[in-house]
Amino acid sequence: MATVTPQKITIEPVTRIEGHAKITIRLNEAGKVERAYLHINEFRGFEKFCEGRMAFEMPVITPRICGICPVSHHLAAAKACDDLYGCPPPRPAQLLRELMHMGQVIQSHGMHFFELAGPDLLLGFDADPATRNVVGLIQANPNLALRAVRLRKFGQEIIHILGGRRVHPVFAVPGGVNKALTRSERDQILAGLDDAIETIQLGLKIFKDWAEANQEDINRFAVFSTGYFGMVKPGNTLELYDGQLRLIDANGQELEYFDGRDYLNYIAEHVEPWSYLKFPYYKKMGWPAGVYRVGPLGRLNVADRIATPLADAALKEFKALNNGKPVEQTLYYHYARLIEALYAAENVRALLDDPDILSTDILNTRQEIRGEGVGVIEAPRGTLFHHYWAKPNGQLERVNLIVATGHNNWAMSEAVDSVAKTYITGPEIREGLLNRVEAAVRAYDPCLSCSTHAVGQMPMVIEILDAQGQVQQTLTRLHE
């Protein structure tokens, strides 16, 4: 519900995002927006309660940080274990892990575009909140909604085929994976691929049409400059599973290019008293000058090319939006997300065509324990770090996690503040305006469960407080 007073608007819970959040909008004496805050309202404590567990358990424990992108934690944990136990996986195992990851990127990005953010774009920011959701979408456009369901299913089935289940699969282990891919399983995945690519291309067309009709909104909706951060392969090629990390400034100049194992030299986290989600920043520039954005927009801004043809062509069009400079508009996250989904789907074919994909050489059992390990992966929402320290027997002594959505915490807070100031200008506050404030968060597709591994959920309330901090009005998303 949203609570509105002369001084503060509270939106709680923020919906159609993953996890728990609320937004408070503080008003000044004149009734104008003074500052809007995004509060991430849950703390779980994985970094503490994993102490004492065996490192090899982490690929099973840490997916419970997030049920939307469990594969990211599953694989980041396995990669940290490869490093900690000193057992690099054989190539076929790397390919199979990457294949599972592509399944996740397709399902997560697809679900976000069609099922979570889609209702805003397809039904409208001002549509009736009672039907502005996936059910409303099914009723308004059943064919499109069913395509979206099939796309998500396609990605989830890749995860299921490899890991035995769709949510919280059991597949990657230190040194490799526990199951090879059979020929019939490969063919089963291939059978759904063309349909998936068609749906993603349809999504791209829908977004581009929407963007053309809503150019004015796009250009005044949370547009600001930051650095950008993400993983690349040589030649600054977009990479989601394993590569080097690249940080660029707001003009596109490279600031850093480094191995994920050295992240502590480059990234630090700031704490604000009003959120359980920390604020990572570029250490050398300090807080808050060193803020940057990750996820689809961040990755496409740091990449110069994509290895697959359709996505690479789409990237060229994307780059043209700002003449090759980084794209700054928050709403273009949706565009970037679809281009990445297209890459993931094309990459599924490349992986399945690889002669090593059916190999049974999937596990390196020779271990040389190092006692410390870092695993880095591009989760759908951005760069994910798992860092473990263990005793010689593999029992964990310390755990540090920096989760994808965390990197965007400053940007989401800035977006909320910016959109509140742009759209909430008069005494009358419509629900649709508040929905735009939520949409500013939604564009980042935050995974607040992840971010609050540390955290856990993300609903939203709007309260309006006056200059004295008294609640003036509460807005609810109820039908009344």
Partner 1 sequence: MSKPKVATDWLAGCAGCHMSFLDIDERIVNLIELVDLRSSPITDLKEPDPSGVDVGILEGGINNTANEEVAHKMRKRCKILVALGDCAVFGGVPAMRNFFKIEDALRRAYVETESTDAEGKIPNDPELAKPTRVRAVSEVVKVDVFVPGCPPSADIIYYVLSELAQGRIPVLKDERLQWH
274, 289, 353, 391: which one binds partner 1 (CB under 8 A): 274
Measured CA distances, 208 to 177, 202, 313, 321, 334 (Å): 39, 10, 15, 12, 10
Stretch that binds partner 1, among 42-50, 76-84, 305-313, 350-358 (CB under 8 A): 42-50
CA distance 34 to 26: 5
> Are the C-beta atoms of 416 and 37 separated by less than 8 Å?
yes
25, 33, 39, 337: which one binds partner 1 (CB under 8 A): 39
How far apart are CB 419 and partner 1 at their closest, in Å? 16
CA distance 373 to 388: 5
CA neighbor of 388 nearest in space, from 50, 115, 20: 50
32, 370, 391, 398: which one binds partner 1 (CB under 8 A): 398
Residue 122 Cα to chain centre, angstroms = 21
Pseudo-torsion of CA 210, 410, 385, 250, nearest 10°?
Answer: 70
Footprint of partner 1 on 426-465 (CB under 8 A): 435, 449, 454, 456-461
4, 22, 113, 352: which one binds partner 1 (CB under 8 A): 22
How far apart are CB 17 and partner 1 at their closest, in Å? 8
Measured CA distances, 432 to 55, 128, 370 (Å): 47, 9, 54
Stretch that binds partner 1, among 7-15, 212-220, 238-246, 418-426 (CB under 8 A): 7-15
Footprint of partner 1 on 128-167 (CB under 8 A): 129-130, 132-135, 138, 142, 146, 149-150, 152-153, 156, 165-167
Q: Is 427 exposed, middle or buried (0-12, 13-18, 19+ CB in 10 A)?
A: exposed
91, 208, 270, 421: which one binds partner 1 (CB under 8 A): 270
How far apart are CB 472 and partner 1 at their closest, in Å? 16
> Are the C-beta atoms of 334 and 113 separated by less than 8 Å?
yes
Number of residues binding to partner 1, judged by CB under 8 A: 88
Centre a 10 Å sphere on the Cβ of residue 353 and count the other Cβ atoms it contains: 10
Footprint of partner 1 on 224-263 (CB under 8 A): 263
Tokens, residue 22: 């609320």
CA distance 13 to 462: 8
Judged by beta carbon, residue 3 or residue 422, the one nearer partner 1 is 3
Judged by beta carbon, residue 111 or residue 348, the one nearer partner 1 is 111
67, 86, 252, 371: which one binds partner 1 (CB under 8 A): 67
62: helix, coil or strand?
helix
CA neighbor of 116 nearest in space, from 451, 448, 445: 445
CA distance 405 to 109: 14
How far apart are CB 195 and partner 1 at their closest, in Å? 13
Binding flags for partner 1, 94-133, as an x/- string (CB under 8 A):
-----------------x---xx--x---------xx-xx
Bridge partners, 293 (sequence order): 228
Interaction of residue 271 with partner 1, rule CB under 8 A: yes
Judged by beta carbon, residue 166 or residue 337, the one nearer partner 1 is 166
How far apart are CB 315 and partner 1 at their closest, in Å? 29
CA distance 408 to 226: 10
Judged by beta carbon, residue 335 or residue 385, the one nearer partner 1 is 385
Residue keyed to tokens 């989601």: 240
Interaction of residue 403 with partner 1, rule CB under 8 A: no
Footprint of partner 1 on 367-386 (CB under 8 A): 385
Bridge partners, 10 (sequence order): 3, 462
How far apart are CB 21 and partner 1 at their closest, in Å? 11
5, 7, 9, 15: which one binds partner 1 (CB under 8 A): 15
